[in-house]
Structure 1
C-alpha cells in the first residue's frame, strides 16, 4: 500500500519512509509512525510523518 493518502496512515503503523537527504537515492528507512505532519488528505510524494525515533520523512510504503 502506498503512503499518498492520509486516511491509510495512523500512529502505531509500521512504514517505510524516504528522508529529505535521501530523496535522490531513494534510500528507505523503516519505523513506526508517531505523528502525522501533513494536513492535506492526499499528497503525491507521500504523507510526511515523524517516526517514534524522531526521523521525519514521506511515507513510501505501509507495511502492516
Structure 2
C-alpha cells in the first residue's frame, strides 16, 4: 500500500498529514496540518480519506507526514 492516505485505518486524530483542499484539487496544492476528525466513513477511498484539520480546513489526505 503506497498511498496510505487512501486507507482509513492508517489515519487517526493527532496525525500530521498533507491534504488537498476542495479548491486546490486542480492545482494539487497541499495543506499541512494535524487531523482533528475523520469525515470519510468507508474503509478506503481512491482520492484519499476526507479529514478536518485542527485549523478547520477540510480536505483529502495525500500523505501522512508523521505519527506519534
* TM-score (structure 2 length as normaliser): 0.92
Count of aligned pairs between the two proteins: 64
Q: Equivalent residue for 2:24? A: 22
Runs of 4+ in 1 over 6 A off after TM superposition: none
Gaps spanning 5+ residues in structure 2: where?
none
CA-based RMSD of the aligned residues comes to: 0.7
Q: Deviations over 1:37-63 (max 9, x none)?
A: 000000000000000010000000001
Q: Equivalent residue for 2:60? A: 58
Gaps spanning 5+ residues in structure 1: where?
none
* TM-score (structure 1 length as normaliser): 0.97
